[in-house]
């Protein structure tokens, strides 16, 4: 298995990625690779939910932790077209957490007990709002700073107060993961996401409660994305360096039977693509 190694040579070209302009291509002649990733069925998250309440009795908080299943998808753009990639951008990142009920106790007094509140969260989705970009360390680690994420959740309250509603809160958060490739396959593991917030609408709160804030911290170390990557078609010059040579030949052979080394657009690397590389190589060598 090879790990994506990233560095920042000069000059740097400009590439449009989604709705934003990213500095991706390290040379004007180089193209990019795209990858679509899906969370594996065994992916889970340890979700820590902290509930902070401000009321006429003062402030109080409690924490509950649940392990839930995770689904998700991601779409990336990597430059140049063939590894080692220089930069990686993420245009789509959706993470959905399994429904769960979190239990909290507040205002606990001796001989009186506690006020209890159950918060059932359904349809919890963490959605990247705009493209982000990162360099990658030698171990494949990429950190996408200051991403804008929408946290959607449908909630039902029972106990201390009753009610239900939906929340769509946008927060700035940091996402990170470790990218690695093997042939035409790419994976992202050891994912990490900064805490996200939900502020309950004031109209949904009891009269003596001024604010309720929910902080959701998701440990995503057991979230695994897998998929395949495909380089932009450059003809036989697969790595976009302006020459057809052994690098392109090696890539066609290592990608045999997959879409990664496809030149003629039939989504499969086969003898036709090999012929195109050898023919272009021969013609370049002819005086």
Choice among 20-29, 184-193, 271-280 with the minimum mean pLDDT: 20-29
Asked if 251 contacts 274 with a C-beta cutoff of 8 angstroms, the reply is no
Q: Which residues lie closer than 8 Å to 271 by C-beta, 6 or more apart? A: none
Whether residue 130 has a cis bond before it, omega within 30° of 0 = no
Which carries the bigger pLDDT value, residue 104 or residue 241? 104
Cβ neighbors of 107 (< 8 A, separation 6 or more) are: 57, 60, 114, 115
Percent of the chain predicted with pLDDT > 90: 42
Considering only CA atoms, give the Rg of the chain: 24
Q: How many helices (H) and strands (E) does the chain have?
A: 2, 16
The domain limits of the chain are 34-75+90-228, 233-285
| Structure confidence at residue 22 as a pLDDT band (50, 70, 90) | very low
- The highest-confidence range among 9-18, 66-75, 197-206, by mean pLDDT, is 66-75
- Its pTM stands at 0.76
Could you give the residue ranges of the DSSP H alpha helices within the chain? 246-254, 271-285
Q: What is the pLDDT of residues 230-254, one digit of tens each?
A: 877 667 887 767 788 888 888 888 8
Predicted confidence at residue 25, as pLDDT, reads 41
DSSP 128-178: E-S-EEE-B-TTSEEEEEEEEEEEEEEEEEEESS-EEEEEEEEEEEEEEEE
Please state, rounded to an integer, the average pLDDT across all residues of the chain.
82
- Cα distances from 35 to residues 73, 83, 219, 223, in angstroms, run 11, 13, 24, 17
Q: Find, among 254, 261, 231, 223, the residue nearest to 44 by Cα.
A: 223
Asked if the model's pLDDT at residue 14 lies above 60, the reply is no
| pLDDT score for 284 | 60
Helix, strand or coil for residue 70? strand
**CATH 2.40.160 fits domain 34-75+90-228:** yes
Tell me which fold the domain 233-285 belongs to: Type 1 dockerin domain (1.10.1330)
Q: Is the pLDDT of residue 12 over 80?
A: no
pLDDT in tens, 209-237: 788 899 999 999 999 999 988 877 667 88
pLDDT tens readout for residues 107-147: 777 877 888 989 999 999 999 999 999 998 888 899 999 99
Length of the chain: 287
């Amino acid at each position: 298995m090879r790990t994506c190694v990233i560095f920042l040579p000069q000059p740097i070209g400009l590439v449009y990625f989604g709705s934003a302009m990213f500095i991706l291509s390290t040379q004007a002649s180089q193209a990019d690779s795209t990858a679509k990733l899906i969370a594996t069925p065994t992916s889970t998250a340890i979700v820590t939910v902290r509930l902070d309440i401000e009321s006429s009795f003062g402030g109080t908080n409690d924490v509950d932790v649940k392990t839930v299943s995770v689904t998700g998808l991601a779409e990336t753009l990597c430059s140049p077209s063939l590894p080692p990639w220089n930069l990686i951008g993420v245009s789509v990142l959706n993470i959905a957490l399994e429904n769960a009920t979190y239990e909290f106790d507040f205002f606990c007094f001796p001989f009186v007990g506690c006020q209890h509140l159950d918060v059932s969260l359904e349809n919890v989705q963490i959605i990247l709002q705009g493209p982000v970009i990162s360099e990658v360390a030698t171990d494949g680690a990429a950190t996408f700073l200051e991403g804008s994420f929408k946290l959607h959740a449908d909630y039902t309250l029972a106990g201390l107060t009753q009610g239900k509603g939906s929340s769509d809160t946008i927060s700035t958060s940091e996402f990170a993961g470790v990218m690695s490739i093997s042939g035409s396959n790419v994976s992202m593991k050891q994912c990490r996401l900064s805490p996200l917030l939900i502020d309950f609408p004031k109209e949904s709160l009891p009269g003596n409660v001024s604010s309720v804030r929910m902080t959701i911290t998701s440990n995503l170390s057991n979230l695994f994305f897998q998929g395949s990557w495909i380089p932009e078609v450059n003809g036989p010059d697969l790595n976009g360096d302006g020459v057809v040579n052994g690098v392109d030949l090696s890539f066609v052979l290592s990608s045999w039977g997959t879409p990664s080394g496809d030149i003629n657009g039939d989504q499969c690397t086969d003898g036709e693509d090999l012929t195109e590389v050898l023919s272009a190589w021969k013609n370049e060598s002819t005086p």
